[in-house]
Amino acid sequence: QIAQPALSQQLGELRRANLVQTRKEAKLVWYTLADEGVALCVRTMEAIFGGLGEVDDLRPPLHLTKRAPSPEGVAGFAQIID
């Protein structure tokens, strides 16, 4: 359990980091995740630490294309295709 002052402080940190958005309704403040990127991070952490599924199930696989081999000593990178 977490005390209200500590909770308010933690929510303030999340808000300043742009991880959550707030909506006020009378005396209530509603918190939601800021965007899909934050939601993906949360789902990933839940899958890793909470045993709620496989990390690979959280997003569609990347489609990689083969490229010509890089000359020796030069880094090669994957190309992402939508």
Domain-wise residue ranges, the chain: 4-81
pLDDT digits (tens, 9 = 90+) for 49-67: 887 666 666 665 555 555 5
State residue 72's pLDDT score. 58
What pairing do the DSSP bridges indicate for beta strands 20-25 and 28-33?
A: antiparallel
pLDDT score recorded for residue 78: 43
Mean pLDDT by 10 residues, the chain (82 residues): 89 95 92 93 86 63 53 48 43
Q: Are 29 and 35 in contact (CB under 8 A)?
A: no
The pLDDT of residue 17: 96
Q: Which CATH fold topology does 4-81 show?
A: Arc Repressor Mutant, subunit A (1.10.10)
